[in-house]
Structure 1
Amino acid sequence: MSMVSAKEFAHWLKNRFEGVEKGVSLTREDINQLTGRQNFSLVFVHDIHHELMRFGIAFVTDTSRDTFYLVRVFDQPWRTQLVQDSAKELFSNVISMNSIR
């Protein structure tokens, strides 16, 4: 297998996993095997992440940099999410009088 660029690998990941709702994980060995590389740098990971973010997909790693995660990114401000969550909690015990009849 020939060595592929970060851009090529990012597009391959997008095409294979864009329909996966919860995301997938890859090990360092998986990436080496899929890209034809013997090793790769954090710059390579950043380039993959940069390419995928245009499609709302993040490519991130854990602190040991042994496992990498491909996850969906949702563009919802945190305040909006909190308001929605508190509205659910506020009215979770309210029952409509119309539904009792």
Structure 2
Amino acid sequence: MVSAKEFATWLKDKFLNERQGVTFTRRDINKLTGRQGFSLSFVNDTHYELMRYGLAFVTDTARENFYLLPVSGSKNWRSAIDAQFEREMFSNIYPIERSSG
């Protein structure tokens, strides 16, 4: 059985230069790690180890599909809005207010 750290190292070695990211199914991860099952802490620990290299390891809410994505090339949200066609909309953005309910 492979630890989260060992799995993260393998993912980094194989996919560090992947530009679009890669997907895995639960079955894929079971086969790759030799685990029958795994907890959310395994996913979190794998993610933690990979973030040092600019990679995010995330899952859907059902933990059936997993995504290894590069995050180091991400741009700031303000830059992304500035790059959109309707630049004047940026002046209409206000902080999200918490609901009182």
Q: What letter corresponds to residue 50 of structure 2 in structure 1? A: L
Gaps of 5+ in 1: 91-101
Which residue in 2 is equivalent to 1:51?
Answer: 49
Which residue in 1 is equivalent to 2:93?
Answer: none
CA distance in 2, matches of 1:10, 1:31: 12
Structure 1 runs of 4+ with >4 Å offset: none
Q: What letter corresponds to residue 7 of structure 2 in structure 1? A: F
Q: Which has the larger radius of gyration?
A: 1
| 1:18-97 map, 5 Å | 18-73=16-71, 74-86=73-85
Task: Tell me by how many angstroms 1:7 deviates.
Answer: 0.5
Gaps of 5+ in 2: 88-101
* TM-score, L = length of structure 2: 0.78
* Identity between Structure 1 and Structure 2 (%): 58
Aligned to 2:2, the other structure's residue is in SS state coil
Aligned to 1:85, the other structure's residue is in SS state coil
Deviations 1:27-82, CA, capped at 9 Å, x for gaps: 11111111111110000000000001111100001121100000111342100222
Which residue in 2 is equivalent to 1:98?
Answer: none
User: How many aligned residue pairs are there?
Assistant: 86
* TM-score, L = length of structure 1: 0.78
Aligned to 2:50, the other structure's residue is in SS state helix
Q: What letter corresponds to residue 84 of structure 2 in structure 1? A: D
CA distance in 1, matches of 2:10, 2:51: 14
RMSD over aligned CA atoms reads 1.5
